[in-house]
């Protein structure tokens, strides 16, 4: 059970097909546990994605559950007060989905020469040569140090009670350290860490629909009220 919260997304394989391997950490020199049982470090992959596997499971349970609850609430409110009031549950649901999915999209991605820390709002692109250290603090949160004072915390591996027992942040730290020692360095033009807004299409679509439905509903209520 100690390694089942780490997921590795293994780049693009032959024919342009994206491959994925998930499994337990095995020893100190492997990223995934291959089907044939052999432990090895995957050096030929384009990228390795690290995240806690509980987040996709959480989204798969909570989002449909909230959807069913939203439909029931809209139906009941509409039956009593009409759709003029009942529709308001739809944008509330979409806003909640947007937040949940955006959090679930958090991850740490190891590329050939750069490390990506994808947090809910900001994405940090850090060249391998710019990383000074990787550590896990007392609360169990994984952090990437750019210098002695600047730390980028990884939301995907924030401290939690579960992590205290399973140690997924520690496993991610060891995986990143092995990646750092595997060679490869960014060019001079890529040696500076960059920060950008995190793009998460499913969450962004949910938020956009929330805004559109809210604005449309307000206009409709104003027109209907006159």
Name every residue whose Cβ is closer than 8 Å to that of residue 194 and which is 6 or more positions away in sequence: 124, 125
Are 27 and 41 within 8 A, CB to CB?
no
pLDDT score, position 188: 53
Percent of the chain with pLDDT over 90: 53
- Reply yes or no on whether the pLDDT at 213 is more than 90: yes
Global pTM reads: 0.73
- Reply yes or no on whether the pLDDT at 189 is more than 60: no
Structure-model confidence comparison of residues 86 and 3, the more confident one: 86
- Reply yes or no on whether the pLDDT at 166 is more than 70: yes
Residue 55, phi then psi, degrees to nearest 5: -65, -50
Structure tokens at 195: 């920060």
Residue 66 burial class via C-beta count within 10 angstroms: exposed 0-12, middle 13-18, buried 19 and up = middle
What pairing do the DSSP bridges indicate for beta strands 151-153 and 194-197?
unpaired
Which secondary structure element, helix H or strand E, spans residue 172, and what is its range? helix 168-180
- Range picked from 16-20, 195-199, 219-223 for highest mean pLDDT: 195-199
Chain CA centroid to CA 169, Å: 14
- Reply yes or no on whether the pLDDT at 185 is more than 90: no
pLDDT band at 187 (very low <50, low <70, confident <90, very high): low
Q: For the chain, what is the mean pLDDT?
A: 80
Instruction: Give the whole-angstrom CA distance, residue 94 versus residue 91.
Output: 5
Tens-digit pLDDT profile for residues 139-155? 889 999 998 888 999 99
Percent of the chain with pLDDT over 70: 75
pLDDT score, position 54: 84
């Amino acid at each position: 059970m100690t390694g089942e919260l780490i997921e590795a997304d293994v780049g693009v394989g032959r024919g342009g097909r994206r491959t994925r391997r998930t499994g337990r950490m095995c020893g100190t020199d492997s990223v995934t546990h291959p089907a044939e049982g052999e432990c090895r470090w995957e050096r030929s992959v384009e990228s390795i994605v690290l995240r806690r596997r509980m987040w996709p499971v959480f989204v798969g349970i909570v989002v449909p559950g909230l959807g069913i609850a939203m439909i029931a609430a809209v139906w009941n409110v509409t039956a009593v007060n009409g759709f003029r009031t009942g529709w308001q549950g739809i944008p509330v649901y979409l806003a909640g989905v947007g937040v949940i999915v955006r959090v679930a999209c958090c991850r740490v991605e190891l590329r050939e020469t750069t490390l990506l820390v994808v947090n809910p709002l900001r994405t940090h692109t850090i060249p391998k040569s710019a990383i000074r250290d990787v550590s896990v603090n007392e609360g169990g949160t994984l952090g990437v140090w750019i210098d002695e004072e600047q730390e980028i915390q990884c939301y995907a591996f924030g401290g939690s009670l579960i992590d205290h027992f399973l140690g997924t942040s520690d496993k991610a730290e060891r995986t990143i350290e092995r990646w750092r020692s595997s060679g490869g360095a960014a060019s001079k033009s890529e040696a500076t860490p960059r920060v950008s807004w995190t793009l998460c299409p499913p969450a962004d679509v949910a938020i956009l629909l929330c805004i559109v439905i809210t604005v449309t509903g307000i206009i409709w209520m104003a027109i209907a009220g006159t």
